[in-house]
């Protein structure tokens, strides 16, 4: 199977590190011109340099903007007036006692994790529909289905993102544009190693430590290890390609079997 998105332009929000950077790298390797997004010029430049070092001939566009604001969306449009593939990856997460989450924090999670995606879909989807081709991918989480007690506000926002994806897929019905969400499971991203070693024996090598962490603290996982960002990216790149033309309105899982269900 050859995944080829040559001639397509993609935007990946929050793509200076972690899953977003892996997705940007994967799309660049598959031939797309990729908008690399972050809030500072320094972080975007570092990410572009890292991707260019891994992908020969990568075509990368710096997109310095805070996409959680209307002004940031204007900056995105100035850098990339049209895109064929929109990956709404940007998100914020954190743990907090449910009864201490105040209104401002609830609003912040909804603004960053949901409305930032909605704004970008509103500005880019019409062009995709007019051109009769496009891909919108919203990066959700297992927390959308298995709501964490310590991250109810995060789970709420990711559940809402599933609804956003399904709804906009209906808006794009019959146009050749697909809209999907990707349910990512526990992933090896920045800072997670420190978190793991807070809960397991620090003398263990990383591979053993993560497996012990999953056994003790994420026993639902059938993979029994953390997912690497590139493994999330592999699915996103496929869904961004012409090969995934019949998949739309779906919540596609790459969760290592974490969600105990045979359907999303």
On whether the CB atoms of residues 218 and 253 are closer than 8 A, the answer is no
Q: Which pLDDT score, from 0 to 100, does residue 212 have?
A: 94
With a cut of 90, say whether residue 195 has pLDDT above it.
no
With a cut of 90, say whether residue 251 has pLDDT above it.
yes
Which regions of the chain does DSSP assign to beta strands (E)?
Answer: 9-12, 33-38, 59-64, 85-88, 134-141, 177-184, 251-254
Q: Which pLDDT score, from 0 to 100, does residue 150 have?
A: 85
Query: Mean pLDDT over residues 174-196, rounded?
Result: 93
Pairing status of strand 59-64 against strand 85-88: unpaired
Tens-place pLDDT, residues 49-77: 999 999 999 999 999 999 999 999 999 99
Asked about 154 being catalytic, the answer comes back as yes
Rg of the chain, C-alpha, whole Å: 18
Give SS3 for 196. Answer: helix
Q: How far apart are CA 255 and CA 207, in angstroms?
A: 18
The dihedral over CA atoms of 124, 127, 130, 131, expressed in degrees to the nearest 10, equals: -100
Active-site annotation holder among 109, 154, 238, 258 = 154
Nearest alpha carbon to residue 142 among 120, 162, 169: 162
Tens-place pLDDT, residues 10-22: 999 999 999 999 9
Tell me which DSSP letter residue 87 carries. Answer: E
On whether the CB atoms of residues 117 and 166 are closer than 8 A, the answer is no
The dihedral over CA atoms of 125, 244, 33, 13, expressed in degrees to the nearest 10, equals: 60
Q: Which pLDDT score, from 0 to 100, does residue 37 have?
A: 98
Delineate the domains of the chain, giving CATH numbers in brackets. 9-187+227-254 (3.40.50.720)
Tokens 């994790």 belong to residue: 113
With a cut of 90, say whether residue 93 has pLDDT above it.
no
pTM for the whole structure: 0.95
What does 15-74 look like in DSSP terms, one character per residue? Answer: -SSHHHHHHHHHHHHTT-EEEEEESSHHHHHHHHHHHHHHSTT-EEEEEE--TTSHHHHH
Nearest alpha carbon to residue 122 among 73, 195, 155: 73
Question: Which of the four pLDDT bands, split at 50, 70 and 90, describes residue 191?
Answer: confident
On whether the CB atoms of residues 112 and 90 are closer than 8 A, the answer is yes
Query: Mean pLDDT over residues 206-217, rounded?
Result: 93
């Amino acid at each position: 199977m050859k995944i080829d998105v040559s001639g397509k332009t993609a935007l990946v929000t929050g793509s200076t590190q972690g899953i977003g950077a892996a997705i940007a790298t994967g799309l660049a390797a598959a031939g797309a011109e990729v908008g690399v997004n972050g809030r500072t010029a320094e972080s975007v430049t570092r990410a572009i340099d890292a991707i260019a070092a891994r992908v020969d001939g990568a075509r990368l566009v710096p997109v310095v903007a805070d996409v959680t604001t209307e002004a940031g969306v204007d900056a995105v449009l100035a850098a990339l007036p049209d895109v064929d593939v929109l990956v709404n990856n940007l998100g914020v997460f954190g743990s907090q006692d449910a009864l201490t989450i105040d209104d401002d924090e609830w609003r912040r999670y909804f603004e960053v994790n949901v409305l930032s995606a909605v704004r970008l879909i509103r500005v880019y989807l019409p062009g995709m529909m007019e051109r009769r081709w496009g891909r919108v991918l919203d990066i959700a989480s297992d927390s959308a289905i298995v709501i964490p007690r310590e991250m109810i506000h995060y789970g709420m926002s990711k559940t809402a993102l599933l609804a956003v994806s399904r709804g906009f897929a209906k808006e794009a019905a019959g146009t050749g544009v697909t809209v999907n969400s990707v349910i990512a499971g526990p992933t090896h991203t920045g800072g997670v190693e420190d978190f793991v070693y807070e809960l397991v024996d620090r003398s263990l090598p990383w591979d053993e430590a993560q497996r012990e962490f999953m056994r003790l603290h994420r026993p639902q996982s059938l993979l029994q290890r953390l997912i690497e960002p590139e493994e999330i990216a592999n699915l996103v790149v496929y869904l961004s390609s012409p090969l995934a033309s019949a998949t739309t309105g779906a919540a596609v899982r790459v969760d290592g079997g974490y969600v105990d269900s045979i359907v999303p």
